[in-house]
Amino acid sequence: MVPLHRSHLRWRVGAHPLVLIRVDDYPRWDRPLEEFLAFDALLAKYDIPYALGVTPFLGIEPRKGFLEPEEVHVLQRLSARSVTIAQHGFTHRPHKWHGRYSVELPAYSQSEVTEWIGRADVFWNQWNLPRPEIMIPPFDGITPESLVAISNRYPIVTGGPASLTTLGPVAPGVRLLHSLYLPSYYAHMYAPSLFALLGERLWKEATGPFVVLTLHWAWEARDRYARVEPLLAALAGRVDPWDRVLGRVERRAVH
């Protein structure tokens, strides 16, 4: 079922690749909200639009499966400032897949995924937040089976190094079922030692129409963002908003 680098299935956006930023893990189970706010302030300082992966029923201990009111208020403020709210699974609790990988989504049956989606959409509506159009599978764990129900609801699905195994080696910009697939592979994820070298290279060395750079704010909080800030400065004002991709996906869906 997985098309492998078939160029005719790829999205064409013109000569210049779109560079998009994905930020995982809001909120984080082990770090205070203030640290996230400091990270967001840096992205705002350098005028970098981003998609924030929100886990609406975060259940990793000590979290009990819901967001605190202050965490929701922050989301409302971010949304008003045009930060793209994406969904990062449902609980983010790890389940083993083939004994090797941690996953969330592939642990559910299709009807369970559909139930979770319904519960999540009640949550977004209840708090007057936009319903996310991007699913960021926790641990980058997505399989062809778990993609079915997800793809019926989210026009964009992301992946990463782990999904090379759980789903297959699919290039960014390939259409999978009803979704556009936008994974982040090395060096666009898990390459903090290369932060100082990225910047311009994200555009120059792109091999396809999309580059999705993924940042884990909680990892960068450990040095108070000293490692990531030069990269953000190099990207200042040049990153594309996710709306540019979402607008194209929706237009295509209409035709």
Binding residues for Zn ion (CB under 5 A): 24-25, 138
CB of 26 to Zn ion, least distance (A): 9
Q: Which is nearer to Zn ion, 102 or 165 (CB)?
A: 102
CB of 170 to Zn ion, least distance (A): 20
Cα–Cα distance, 154 to 41 (Å, whole number): 28
3 state SS for the chain: CCCCCCHHHECCCCCCCEEEEEEEEECCCCCCHHHHHHHHHHHHHCCCCCEEEECCCCCCCCCCCCCCHHHHHHHHHHHHCCCEEEECCCCCCCEEECCCEEECHHHCCHHHHHHHHHHHHHHHHHCCCCCCCEECCHHHCCCHHHHHHHHHHCCEECCCCCHHHHCCCCCCCEEECCEEECCCCCCCCCCHHHHHHCCCHHHHCCCCCEEEEEEEHHHHHHHCCCCCHHHHHHHCCCCCCCHHHHHHHHHHHHC
Q: Which is nearer to Zn ion, 24 or 220 (CB)?
A: 24
CB of 189 to Zn ion, least distance (A): 12
Q: Which is nearer to Zn ion, 151 or 158 (CB)?
A: 158
Read off the tokens for 166.
Answer: 């759980």
Peptide bond into 15 cis (omega under 30): no
Q: Which is nearer to Zn ion, 137 or 172 (CB)?
A: 137
The pairing of strands 156-157 and 95-97 is unpaired
Q: Which is nearer to Zn ion, 56 or 138 (CB)?
A: 138
CB of 72 to Zn ion, least distance (A): 19
CB of 102 to Zn ion, least distance (A): 10
CB of 255 to Zn ion, least distance (A): 34
Q: Which is nearer to Zn ion, 17 or 51 (CB)?
A: 51
How many angstroms from the chain centroid is the CA of residue 201? 21
Q: Do residues 85 and 132 touch, judged by C-beta distance below 8 A? A: yes
CB of 5 to Zn ion, least distance (A): 27
Q: Which is nearer to Zn ion, 160 or 241 (CB)?
A: 160
